[in-house]
Copies of this chain bind each other. A is one copy, B any other.
């Protein structure tokens, strides 16, 4: 692979006699999107048109097609990277974007996370252990009601509390009111033991609105936020990461499922490339259909050495319960943040106790 191409790896359902022509068609679709025979410009033909690098039969009627896409067509701009990787091909039901290999120039251009696993541990005074997280719910409560629940969860000593991704800037709990109230409640709950629970409020709206929300969060003493990059737009996400090097960004997968990009690439590599310090994904055996292999591959993509880019903390979630903690630690090891939302909230008046038990098992096994 020449340094100026990204290798996009597609899994294509097609027949053996058609796959070569199909691969050529994808290479054109994801680059110049017109008949190559009608292009006379030598530079475009040599340096812009996508190049089929390899085709291999992976069984089950599927082929792995590797296509070199010119970095020059992508900016570097996050939206344009997504567009050139999968913009039009996302509309083909028989094409999955399986993986991608990025040259160093692309990694350094986007820059990756500002904090990574080490930073996420440092903010809550953790050394080489797994981290804990819970989710603040339900939406519909006012800021005071949410602050009360957050206080209970923090009293249990959790490392992180994130807003439910459905909590936005609704009239019944506006961001500007609830975030300082929740931040105060969380701090107050940890005053006794001197530890820190970091609260990550959920951003919503457009770039201007999210900037205002980050300012509010910062003024409330917070140093991290939650964002759903596929809803916000990856360019919005990346701009906020680069503008706010003091803030940690936890990425949420909402709306990521509709586009048929393999989760390890999408929630692991791509969100890491654009700057996610932590990435939430549905653990196997929960409410969602990810397999153990998908989860393992995703966590590896988030954590593996990657040419100097910081790592991204894998955050398996989605219907997890306290009794699964030992098994999850076994599966993911200590480089992980375990997120239990509803499973703690369901404890009602025993919520702080359940949170403390969760924290204890993660810290001391």
Contact = CB atoms under 8 A, between A and B. Distances in A.
Interface of A: 25, 29, 31-35, 37-41, 43-44, 47-49, 70, 72-75, 77, 79-80, 82-84, 86-94, 135, 137-141, 145, 164-166, 168-172, 204-209, 228, 230-236, 238-239, 253-261, 282, 287-289, 341-342, 345-348
B207 A34 contact: no
A75 B31 CA distance: 37
A358 B145 CA distance: 63
A139 B288 contact: no
Contacts of A38: 342, 345-348
Contact of A208 (B83, B135, B207): B207
B254 A235 contact: no
B75 A34 contact: no
A261 B159 CA distance: 36
16 contacts: A32-B139, A32-B164, A32-B166, A33-B135, A33-B341, A38-B348, A77-B205, A79-B168, A83-B254, A86-B258, A88-B254, A207-B236, A208-B239, A231-B234, A231-B235, A232-B233
Given A48-B140, A138-B32, A342-B35, A204 B79 contact: yes
Contact of A32 (B29, B137, B204, B239): B137
A75 B170 contact: yes
What is the copy number of this chain in the assembly?
2
B257 A83 contact: no
A37 B235 contact: no
A205 B207 CA distance: 11
A255 B83 contact: yes
Contacts of A347: 38
Pick from A73, A86, A209, A235 the residue with the most CB of B within 10 Å: A235
Pick from A31, A77, A80 the residue with the most CB of B within 10 Å: A80
List the 3 shortest-distance A-B pairs measured between CB atoms, nearest first.
Answer: A233-B233, A48-B140, A87-B254
A29 B233 contact: no
B287 A34 contact: no
A315 to B, nearest CB: 14
A288 B91 contact: yes
